[in-house]
Structure 1
Amino acid sequence: MIRLESISKQNGHQILFIEASAALQKGEKVGLVGPNGAGKTTLFRMITGQEDPDEGQVAVDRGVTIGYFSQDVGEMAGRSAVSEVMDGTGPVSTVAAELKALEAAMADPDRADEMDEIIQRYGEVQGRFEELGGYALEGQAREVLAGLSFSQEMMDGDVGALSGGWKMRVALARILLMRPDAMLLDEPSNHLDLESLIWLEQFLRGYEGALMITSHDREFMNRIVSKVVEIDGGSLTTFSGDYEFYQQQTALNAKQQQAQFERQQAMLAKEIKFIERFKARASHAAQVQSRVKKLEKIDRVEPPRRRQTVVFDFLPAPRSGEDVVSLKSVHKGYGIRPIYEGLDFMIRRRERWCVMGINGAGKSTLLKLVAGATEPDTGTVTVGGSVKMGYFAQHAMDLLDGEATVFEALEGWFPQAGQGSLRALAGCFGFSGDDIEKRCRVLSGGEKARLVMARMLYDPPNFLVLDEPTNHLDMATKEMLITALSQYEGTMLFVSHDRHFLAALSNRVLELTPEGVHQYGGGYTEYVARTGHEAPGLRS
């Protein structure tokens, strides 16, 4: 269906592809992987014709329809979410818009004298809408939006009133409703809660077209793809298998290449030693010449390309008292909407609570109550003795000094720390080379999140309160964070939609449901085994 044939591409001084080839066949589900900046988005843009390769060609079979979801969703306003989603399906959306306008006209008393013409036109348009399968399509659009956690009110409201994250979901729903022959999805798992993520997973598994997808969610990738294309050092390498198979295979390939490299290095050292020893002796001249020629002809084995992963040893956290936080008879609401009514909850030292619940269940509110960022309406929140709290929330990123560079920010926070230590910390959170000279005002949301996280973990508190800490992290940084936090000896309370993060770090689960608050001993893996579902909103 889609073939990349010996493509080469350069962006400024950066070479992205050198005579690289890969293919997406009918019905295949392919994961596209590679470090940040390797060219994943550029590859998608070349397939959709938004960019051209410098050399080689991108061949798409005649008649193949492509749906492309990217993080840049553009402007959306003036229409309902349902209309916006149906817009991707062609003429039916235009007819639907006219139908809505005619319905409004029929309800307008100022247009009573035009009513006969309006009703006649409404009949014609309604007939056309039925002919195009419009009613079925609207039902499907609502089904997709419901899967992505939209309420009926949000579906019918002006899409312009939605936040950026919800607009992303509208753009994603538009592609899913299209059901093109091939879908290219660039980070569709960003901005999704756990219920939406699992719904999307099931939708994509049932989709019969070809799929190429990037995602920082390891579990999500693993459950969907059956082939992986890796971008690395300008080339495209294809692996037949899921994401876990790809990880095992690359580790094995690197190990074999390293062994081959070491064997060759030992052989070369031996030959060079012989040449050095006997090059001045006439009696060995022929042998020396023969060995020199042999060395010139040898194909040199390169050592495996090592991804730069920095492991940072975080300092041990000071010990807190046994009772870390106690909530007693807490009531909290917003306006007339109650969130908590008489909540009792106790967190003890070294417990790691993950908080589960659908959108609006009160996950972030609970973290704010515990962190003192909001007050209960009634009841008490008591923080225990010797508790040093670190609170990570999305708004913390707005407090960075925009004019300071990444390195200056770290130096300002930790004036006693050595430069080497701070550079290692920065590298650990993805700021290597010139990145540490970037000013905070030009950092992306993901970079800001990583910088705030670095600050919090360099001088670790003994109680971490984390609201979606993995939202903007790539897989390598996420793995580093999981490794660091698994050795952390303090207490944790966190919200995350990353199942790998949840399973690796939790030892308690607090589940918020409309029926009440449930506490589970054991971590997320035990919770799934016990309840039979991966998220509270997925109860059958």
Structure 2
Amino acid sequence: MIRIENISKSNSHRILFIEASAALNRGEKIGLVGPNGAGKTTLFRMITGQDLPDEGQVSVDKGVTIGYFNQDVGEMSGRSAVAEVMDGAGPVSVVAAELRELEAAMVDPDRMDEMDQIIERYGEVQARYEELDGYGLEGRAREVLDGLSFTQEMMDGDVGKLSGGWKMRVALARILLMRPDVMLLDEPSNHLDIESLIWLEQFLRGYDGALLMTSHDREFMNRIVTKIIEIDAGSLNTYSGDYGFYEQQRALNEKQQQAQFERQQAMLAKEIKFIERFKARASHASQVQSRVKKLDKIERVEPPKRRQTVAFEFQPAPRSGEDVVSLKGVAKKYGSGTIYDGLDFMIKRRERWCIMGINGAGKSTLLKLVAGATEPDDGSVSIGASVKMGYFAQHAMDLLDGDLTVFEWLEQEFPRAGQGSLRALAGCFGFSGDDIEKKCRVLSGGEKARLVMAAMLFDPPNLLVLDEPTNHLDLDTKEMLIKALSDYEGTMLFVSHDRHFLAELSNRVLELTPDGIHRYDGGYTEYVERTGYEAPGLQA
């Protein structure tokens, strides 16, 4: 359906693709992977014709419809979420628009003399609308929005009043309702809670078109894709299998290439040693000459390319007392809604609590109460002896001073730290070379998250309170964070929609439901085994 043939592409002095080729065939579900800046979005844009390769070609079979979802959702306002979604449903939405115009014309007194033609045309358009199942369109639009966790109020309210994250869901719903022949989804898992993620997984598994997508959620990708296309140093490498298989295969390929490189280096060293030893002897001249020719003809094996990955290094945190946080009789309301009423909750040293609950259950509120970012209406929140807290929340990224560079901001945060240690810290969190001189205002969401985390962990706390710490982080950075937090010896309280992160790091689960608050010993994996569902909103 889509063929990428020997494309080359440069982007402001940076080479993205060199004679790269790949294909997307009917019904295939492919994950597109590669480090940030490798050219994933550029590849999507070339497939949709918004961008062109410098050389080579991207060809799409005639008549193939493509739906492209990206993070730039554009302006939305003035109509309901349902209307916005229906408007993007392909040919049927064009027919629906004409139907609305004709209905308005039929009641327009100024157009009475055209009424016969209007009614005739209305009959034709209505027949086409029925043929395209237009009357079932609104029901399907509501079904998709419901799957993405919209309430009826949100569906019918002005889309312009929704936050950026919810507008993104509206943009995604438009593509899903359209059901094109090919879906290009650039980070569809961003901004989704676990319930919506799992619904989307099931939707995409049942979708019979072709799919090419990027995602920073490995669990999500593993459950959908059966092939991986990797962008690596300008090439497009194809692997049959899910993301887990691709990781294993890539590691095996690198190991084999390293062994091949080392064997060749040893052979070359031996030959060069012989040449150096006997080059001055006339008796060995022909042997030396023969070996020099042989070396000239040998195709050199390159060592495997080492990927730049962020290495998080925790300094040991000071030990806290055994009782880390105690909430007693806590009540909290927002407007007329009661979030907590008489909550008792104790966190002990080295416990790692993940908080589960649907949107609005009070997950972030609990973290804010513990962090002191909000006060309880009643009851008490007390922090134990020798507890030093680090609190990571999404709004923390908005507090970065946009006029300062990364290094200047770190200097401002830690005026007593030496330049060397701050540069080392920045390097650990992926700010090397010129990146350290970037202004904070131009940083991507992932870079901002890394910078805030770097500051939080420079002088390590023994209690980490983390609200969606993996939002905006790419797969490699996320993996490094999980590895570092696995070795962390302090206490953790966190909210995340990343099931891999939850499974690897939690050893306790607090579930917030309308029926009450439930505590589970054991981590997220045990919670799923015991309850039979992956998130509270999925209870039968």
Look up the match of 2:256: 256
Look up the match of 2:194: 194
For 1:32, give the aligned amino acid.
L
State how 1:9-88 maps to structure 2 within 5 Å: 9-88=9-88
Look up the match of 2:348: 348
Distance 1:162 1:252 in 2: 46
Q: 1:429 to 1:100 in 2, by over 3 A?
A: farther
Contact 2:320–2:349 (8 Å) recurs in 1: yes
Distance 2:26 2:93 in 1: 28
Deviations for 1:337-373, whole angstroms, at most 9, x for unmatched residues?
1111111111111100000011111101110111111
Q: Does 1:146 align with 2:146?
A: yes
Q: CA deviation at 1:94?
A: 5.4
Look up the match of 1:228: 228
Q: CA deviation at 1:399?
A: 1.5
Deviations for 1:181-210, whole angstroms, at most 9, x for unmatched residues?
110100000111111111111111111110
Distance 1:409 1:234 in 2: 34
Distance 1:278 1:103 in 2: 96
For 2:210, give the aligned amino acid.
A
Q: CA deviation at 1:446?
A: 2.1
Distance 2:156 2:243 in 1: 38
State how 1:430-449 maps to structure 2 within 5 Å: 430-449=430-449
Q: 1:364 to 1:209 in 2, by over 3 A?
A: same
Distance 1:105 1:47 in 2: 40
Distance 2:101 2:237 in 1: 52
Look up the match of 1:163: 163
Distance 2:4 2:97 in 1: 39
Q: Does 1:451 align with 2:451?
A: yes
**1:146 partner SS:** helix
Distance 2:66 2:171 in 1: 14
Look up the match of 1:384: 384
Look up the match of 1:403: 403
Q: CA deviation at 1:126?
A: 7.4
Distance 2:65 2:91 in 1: 16
Deviations for 1:1-47, whole angstroms, at most 9, x for unmatched residues?
11001111111211111111000000000011111111111111101
**2:409 partner SS:** helix
Q: CA deviation at 1:423?
A: 2.9
For 1:177, give the aligned amino acid.
L
Contact 1:397–1:448 (8 Å) recurs in 2: yes
For 2:224, give the aligned amino acid.
I
For 2:365, give the aligned amino acid.
T
For 1:349, give the aligned amino acid.
R
Q: 1:280 to 1:27 in 2, by over 3 A?
A: same
For 1:539, give the aligned amino acid.
Q
Contact 2:357–2:535 (8 Å) recurs in 1: yes
Distance 2:539 2:260 in 1: 52
For 1:55, give the aligned amino acid.
E
Look up the match of 1:303: 303
Deviations for 1:82-119, whole angstroms, at most 9, x for unmatched residues?
1111111245435656888999999xxxx9xx9xx9xx
Distance 1:56 1:128 in 2: 40
Contact 1:193–1:497 (8 Å) recurs in 2: yes
For 1:143, give the aligned amino acid.
E
Q: 1:25 to 1:394 in 2, by over 3 A?
A: same
Q: Does 1:491 align with 2:491?
A: yes
Distance 1:162 1:371 in 2: 27
Contact 2:312–2:481 (8 Å) recurs in 1: no
Contact 1:83–1:96 (8 Å) recurs in 2: no
Provide structure 2 residue ranges, at least 5 long, that are not aligned to the other structure.
none
Q: CA deviation at 1:313?
A: 2.5
Q: 1:321 to 1:266 in 2, by over 3 A?
A: same
Q: CA deviation at 1:434?
A: 1.1
Q: CA deviation at 1:315?
A: 0.6
Distance 1:195 1:105 in 2: 44
For 1:512, give the aligned amino acid.
L
For 2:529, give the aligned amino acid.
A
Q: 1:244 to 1:102 in 2, by over 3 A?
A: same
Deviations for 1:194-246, whole angstroms, at most 9, x for unmatched residues?
11111111111111110001001111111111000110011111111111110
Bigger drift between 331-340 and 252-261 goes to 331-340
Query: TM-score scaled to structure 1, two decimals?
Result: 0.94
Contact 1:350–1:491 (8 Å) recurs in 2: yes
Q: CA deviation at 1:127?
A: 7.4
Deviations for 1:243-281, whole angstroms, at most 9, x for unmatched residues?
111000000000000000000001111111111111122
For 1:260, give the aligned amino acid.
Q
Distance 2:105 2:315 in 1: 68
* Count of residues in Structure 1 that have an aligned counterpart in Structure 2: 531
Distance 1:130 1:324 in 2: 63
Contact 1:83–1:97 (8 Å) recurs in 2: no
Distance 1:92 1:266 in 2: 66
Query: TM-score scaled to structure 2, two decimals?
Result: 0.94
Q: 1:145 to 1:104 in 2, by over 3 A?
A: farther
Look up the match of 1:271: 271
Q: CA deviation at 1:402?
A: 1.7
Q: 1:527 to 1:15 in 2, by over 3 A?
A: same
Percent identical residues: 82
Q: Does 1:284 align with 2:284?
A: yes
Q: 1:505 to 1:439 in 2, by over 3 A?
A: same
**1:49 partner SS:** coil
Contact 2:312–2:429 (8 Å) recurs in 1: no
Contact 2:310–2:477 (8 Å) recurs in 1: no
Look up the match of 1:247: 247
Contact 1:312–1:424 (8 Å) recurs in 2: no
**1:89 partner SS:** coil
For 1:231, give the aligned amino acid.
I
Q: CA deviation at 1:134?
A: 2.3
Look up the match of 1:471: 471
State how 1:482-521 maps to structure 2 within 5 Å: 482-521=482-521
For 2:457, give the aligned amino acid.
L
Distance 2:64 2:126 in 1: 30
Distance 1:340 1:100 in 2: 47
Q: 1:344 to 1:229 in 2, by over 3 A?
A: same
Contact 1:73–1:167 (8 Å) recurs in 2: yes
Provide structure 1 residue ranges, at least 5 long, that are not aligned to the other structure.
none
**2:88 partner SS:** helix
Contact 1:428–1:477 (8 Å) recurs in 2: no
Q: CA deviation at 1:290?
A: 1.2
Q: CA deviation at 1:449?
A: 1.2
Contact 2:311–2:429 (8 Å) recurs in 1: no
**2:425 partner SS:** helix
